[in-house]
Amino acid sequence: MAKIVLFCLLSLLACAAGQRITTIHLDGVQYFISRMNPYSPELNYFLAYQYCRSLGLQLASFETKEKAESMTTYLKNAGYGNYDFWTSGNRLGTGMFLWMSTGLPFNATFDFFENSADAIQAGLLDPVDHNSNTSPQRTARDSSSGAEKGCVILKQPTLKWMPEDCSAVKDFICEQTRCYYYNYGSIPVSSAQG
């Protein structure tokens, strides 16, 4: 019986310690890069999203040119320029790209997409502006965009954005969660006060 209690206590202690991961601190943000961690699997978009959330993180969003360039420079300098990485970007259920982690549309003045003629010819990119359609009412009913080429990766070797099939298996980048805690005050009332 003592062995069972000891085993349960050790198991509880191991669970409380949580998974140990390696992160980097870049421009004031903590990042988890799956390629840096030997036990992190390559995953599809949805499982990468879930994996990040299980760590208390979220798939990375790159809303500014500086943030995108800083990450691509780091990845190239660290020797990870030959890998594709999932971001939180997608156009699932809509005709425009959104950052899943923030809910914000891609910045129309900041286009980091790989605009090669080969990608357009292969059908990976539309030859038009990726954010020209900003009407959520219209695009929310647009059924033409789905998981096929609906999620955004940092595509090697340039690490520019590229739409990819969401079911493809890739590395991924998580970032610290932007916590929005509200200090809700509770007012004591009785049911008679209605």
Q: Where are the domains of the chain?
A: 20-176
Q: What is the pTM of this model?
A: 0.71
pLDDT value of residue 39: 84
Q: Average pLDDT, stretch 79-105? A: 91
What stretches of the chain show up as alpha helix (H) in DSSP?
2-17, 45-54, 65-77, 117-121, 136-139
Contact 168, 44 (CB under 8 A): yes
Q: Average pLDDT, stretch 39-68? A: 93
| Rounded distance between C-alpha atoms, residue 149 and residue 120, angstroms | 12
Which top CATH class is 20-176?
alpha beta
Kindly state the DSSP code that residue 53 receives in the 8-state scheme.
H
In the chain the beta strands, taken as DSSP E runs, fall at: 24-26, 29-33, 57-59, 85-90, 98-99, 151-155, 160-164, 171-176
| Rounded distance between C-alpha atoms, residue 43 and residue 166, angstroms | 10
Nearest in space to 163 (alpha carbons), one of 144, 140, 142, 147: 147
pLDDT value of residue 113: 83
Q: Average pLDDT, stretch 144-154? A: 79
Contact 23, 173 (CB under 8 A): no
CA angle in degrees (0–180, nearest 5) for 52-58-61:
130
pLDDT value of residue 141: 42
